[in-house]
Structure 1
Amino acid sequence: MEVETRIAEAQLWIAQRLPLAQIREKAAQNWGITNIKTISRYLALARQRMVEELITDRRRHQAEQIFALNDCARRAMDAEQFNAAVGAFRVIAEIGGLLRAPIKPPEPRA
């Protein structure tokens, strides 16, 4: 149980994009571990689990991102930040597979 808790905590630190030095400090404080190899093993396990979860729960992750972006777009429109709202809707279309490539004007020919 303790190992699972440590892996979950390491996943949180990775998701927060904490620097490695700060992760080492937190591991020392929370787990009492200062060995860099041990901390690296926990981080490797955490990353591996994150990838596995993303692959197996891809549709759920897509749905969560779309709902979060919808909320972001709504708040942007309420604040009259229309460029941000359009950007959020564009990413929603990309996640949903409605938009495959960036929309760019054609290159001018010389």
Structure 2
Amino acid sequence: MVEEAKIDGGGHGNSMPFTVTEYLSFDKLVGQALAYADQDGETLVIVTSDHETGGLVVLDANQKSGHVLGNFATTDHTGIPVPLAAYGPGAEHFQGFVDNSEIAKKIYQLLGIK
């Protein structure tokens, strides 16, 4: 389990540069986890968040320059649904909208723990 807690700080601070940098760092880490899962063949990678912070709306972006134009709606947590993505054996159990409290239960079921 890995947490990228600094993304939350970027939302609270409404800092676009900080938020973008942290998302890129997180994206790189997820890429490494997916590569490991491909190599291992028995690893399930689950990516989600406990909440959204800042209400960021991306209006435009330029991949070549790295410029992102957007607005934050708040400095607090929001009720915006967060994505849940999974890759590897058992990934089909982690699709769509799932309450965060259900994720651990699904992991336990896959591991045969009651």
Instruction: Compare the two structures and name the one with the higher strand fraction.
Output: 2
Higher relative contact order (CA 8 A, sep 6+): 2
Instruction: Compare the two structures and name the one with the higher helix fraction.
Output: 1
Structure with bigger gyration radius? 1
